[in-house]
Structure 1
Amino acid sequence: MGSDLDYAHPQVEADVLAWGKWLAQTLPLKGVRFDAIKHYSEDFLRKFITILDETYGQGWFFVGEFWKDSLDDMTRYLDRMGKKFSLFDAPLVYNFSQISKSSGADLRKVFDDTLVASMPVNAVTLVMNHDTQPYQALEAPIEGWFKPLAYALILLRGEGYPCLFYGDLYGIKGEHPFPPACGGILPKLALARKLYAYGKQADYFDYATCLGWVRYGTWDRRAGCAVVLSNAGPGEKRMHVGEVHAGEVWTDVLGWSDREVRIGDDGFGDFVCGQTSVSVFVNRDAEGRGKFAEKL
């Protein structure tokens, strides 16, 4: 990696541990990202994490870049770290890449052999990063039409800690420029998560090329949301959002579907999305709906 630090050397260990304590005492931080953790001492990293966690209070968030497409390797590493740690879900990225390049692929397999499915509390989910973007060493191409679906799958579900890629949000400049991903609606997906993706989750993974799920909301965030996505033709799901919403009209916050869905007395609605697309439905009168009309 271009650096040669011997973390088994007592002076190196003491210096870096002191630096970690300085970070915790001086800066308003509550987490640390560790790069290329395959290339240095597990024993030292475990000690570093334990000291910060025990000295400065529970709740510190640690994530490591341990880029492996083997779920077994990742889970064994987490076991050795006492599960006080999270990893970027590389197998999920490769699943996204493969599914996006396969016509009519089975979306129900998107979470197969992924960290978020196996150990959701220890999984940081992502779609792309600086290493997997085009022309980089670990390039994992994801077709542009699929990125909104992929981001919906990490942002609007309850499992994992989602991470947005700067290049997808703002575009990539330089020798190989790319515009912002998802047709510019990635900020809206993030806002939908912030406002509505809370509470119990009910999955409707009953059809290979069309998935749906509902977030029921919580006592203090009542709205909830209903998500439908398709990697083939237009999709439709009849889903239960709760009798408490009977009579409400739900619409797509992304604006990609113009369907108005009236919730029945039984709490069900018929939610739709376009071809190779995603829609996120919430009550058209829900708190915060006006924010989606603003420039984000």
Structure 2
Amino acid sequence: ALVGVLALVVWQRRGSHFYEFGILAIVLTGGLVSFFTLPTGRESRIVVSLLITLILLLTWLFHMGWVERRLAVRPSPINRPVFAFVAVMIISYFWSLAFRDPLMFIWSSFPMVQVVALLVNVTFPFLLLMVANKLNEPMWISRLVIIFILLGVTSIVLYFTNQTIHDWFMYRGTRGLFSMWVAAFALSLALFQRKLPTWLRILLVGLVIVLIYRYFFLGRSWVSGWLPMFVALMVIVYQRSKRAFVILAVLGAIYVSLNFTYYFNNIVLAEEQ
């Protein structure tokens, strides 16, 4: 493992776009290769995107400590929140060990579960930090956005045409906040990118509409699949037109009031039960 990290450090020092390609690979493997996992010797398994993330972070940290001889990041508004979040995670871990309820049953693998959970909770904030430090050229950001949108289109097409292939290749990778990111990128490009032709703007807005239909109307009980998406879309609309924001907010309020019983019974009460 040490030899591998050293080789990666030497590779990225030669001027290749190591981190940029690695970040794109995280998104691609997360969206397309989520079905392939590596065993850990226990019930949990490691997805390829997490493995690539760990390799990139270890290489980045090792390069700063061994080559640059200093651990430093570029000034950014996200630095303090990231470090604060990581500090809270570490403190919470040791706090849970020191003040654990004596009546709580601890199975043999529970300590390892805690360590792995801490590792994951620390890894992704540091990934955000690495992306902010390494993905600076507009070309790479554009490629990242294009990959997200293409994954979104592929997921939607497979979902409505071949459910089996969709569930095998993309089901796990297109849950969580995936719909939010794809819809936010698509709507932002349609509203703010002036160089886009009209037909492409229409297609992007159409993608957003299909995503809303897929994650909201067909999956209303899964709140985390559509609520973050709606919040992001409303923020984007507000940035473009406050009048449109007010109109959509009123329409949304009317819809919720007309369907209040359904959401209260199937979401609020279901969560409590």
**Larger RCO, structures 1/2 (Cα 8 Å, 6+ apart):** 2
How high is the TM-score relative to the length of structure 2? 0.32
- Of Structure 1 and Structure 2, the greater helix share is in 2
